[in-house]
Amino acid sequence: MDALILFLIAAVASFVGSLQAGIVNTAVLAHTIKFGPDAGRRMAIGGAIPELIYAGIAFQFATLVLHHLGLDRAGIGALVGAILISIGLYFLFIFKPVFATNEEKLKAAGMRKGLLLGLANPQLLLFWCGVKLSLSSVGVEGHGILELLAFASGAFVGAIILLFQLVRLGRKAVERMHPNTLRTMFRLVGLVLVISGVIGIMRTRKPRDAAARDASQDVIPPDPADHGSSPAPYLHVAIAH
Name the nearest CA neighbour of 77 among 188, 190, 208, 187: 208
Task: Bin 85: left if φ > 0, else alpha if -120 < ψ < 50, else beta.
Answer: alpha
Rg over alpha carbons for the chain, rounded to the nearest Å, is 26
Segment 176-195 shows an average pLDDT of 73
3-state secondary structure of 94: coil
What pTM value is reported for the model?
0.66
- Residue 219 is classified by DSSP as P
Predicted confidence (pLDDT) at residue 223 exceeds the cutoff of 60: no
pLDDT for 238 equals 38
Higher confidence at residue 241 or residue 137? 137
Q: Give the number of other Cβ atoms within 10 Å of residue 87's Cβ.
A: 21
Burial status of residue 57 (CB atoms within 10 A of its CB: 0-12, 13-18, 19 or more): middle
pLDDT for 82 equals 83
Q: What is the pLDDT of residues 57-106, one digit of tens each?
A: 999 988 887 777 766 667 777 877 887 788 778 778 876 655 544 444 44
Q: Write down the domain spans for the chain.
A: 2-215
Share above pLDDT 70 across residues of the chain, in percent, rounded to a whole number: 69
